[in-house]
Chains A and B, each alone.
Chain A
Amino acid sequence: EIVLTQSPGTLSLSPGERATLSCRASQSIGSSYLAWYQLKRGQAPRLLFYDASSRANGIPDRFSGSGSGTDFTLTITRLEPEDFAVYYCQHYDSPAMYTFGQGTKLEIK
């Protein structure tokens, strides 16, 4: 079973700064089957990227996803106040195994 490790656990930044969030897989997963989600309290979770770098509908281009193999990155350039949230990476393995990282909390400094 693939284990996803996210770092850092908490990232404290100011609006306007750049955020770099990491997701490391315990073994190579290529560039497919890796997604990123944004969670805010009281709101529906939001899909940001799938297949590591394919942007979901409506996601601003200040968000980018990259990586392959075991190392994946979610980057947010020029943080906006609404970007402060918890971010999760997720892997899928057929036929129905869905694993999540432990999350990175992006908080206002």
Chain B
Amino acid sequence: QVTLKESGPALVKPTQTLTLTCTFSGFSLSSSGMRVSWLRQPPGKALEWLARIDWDDDKFYSTSLETRLTISKDTSKNQVVLTMTNMQPVDAGTYYCARIIYGGWHFDSWGQGTLVTVSS
């Protein structure tokens, strides 16, 4: 059974750096073709893709946010970490991690998400 779970602070102050961890089970990110992405959904708004890391350590970022994002993986711990610098109130929302399987392009398994508030 594939599971993913996001964790991190529920509240960050403006200008701080957000660090989120996706802990997953039921698959290995060292398996060829596996990929994990981070996405977010601001309150009342649409889903937005943020970043992706692949089994071979290739990394991709949203063009609008790439200067603020860093994605990394720890295969031994089955974790993917996302950092976002200079957090602002507009960055508040629910952050999700999701898996893309070999040969696919769609997000076939998701975590429940973690809600992040940005306020002083």
Q: Which residues of A contact B46 (CB under 8 A)?
A: 88, 100-103
A50 within 8 A of B: yes
Interface residues on B, range: 20 to 34
B47 adjacent to A100 (CB under 8 Å): yes
Contacts A88-B46, A102-B46: A44 and B106 contacting too (C-beta < 8 A)? no
Nearest CB on B from A82, distance (A) = 17
Q: Is the interface of A mostly helix, strand, loop or mixed?
A: strand
Alpha-carbon separation in the docked complex, A100 to B47 (Å): 6
Contacts A45-B96, A96-B60, A98-B49: A37 and B107 contacting too (C-beta < 8 A)? yes
Q: Which residues of A contact B111 (CB under 8 A)?
A: 44
Interface residues on A, range: 20 to 34
B60 adjacent to A95 (CB under 8 Å): yes
Alpha-carbon separation in the docked complex, A37 to B108 (Å): 10
Alpha-carbon separation in the docked complex, A47 to B111 (Å): 12
B95 within 8 A of A: no
Contacts A88-B47, A100-B49, A102-B46: A47 and B108 contacting too (C-beta < 8 A)? yes
- The interface of chain A, by Cβ under 8 A from chain B, is 33, 35, 37, 39, 42-47, 50, 56, 88, 90, 92, 95-103
Apart from the given pairs A90-B106, A97-B49, A99-B49, 13 other A-B contacts in the complex at a CB distance below 8 Å: A33-B105, A37-B47, A37-B107, A43-B112, A44-B110, A45-B96, A45-B107, A45-B110, A47-B106, A47-B108, A100-B46, A100-B47, A103-B47
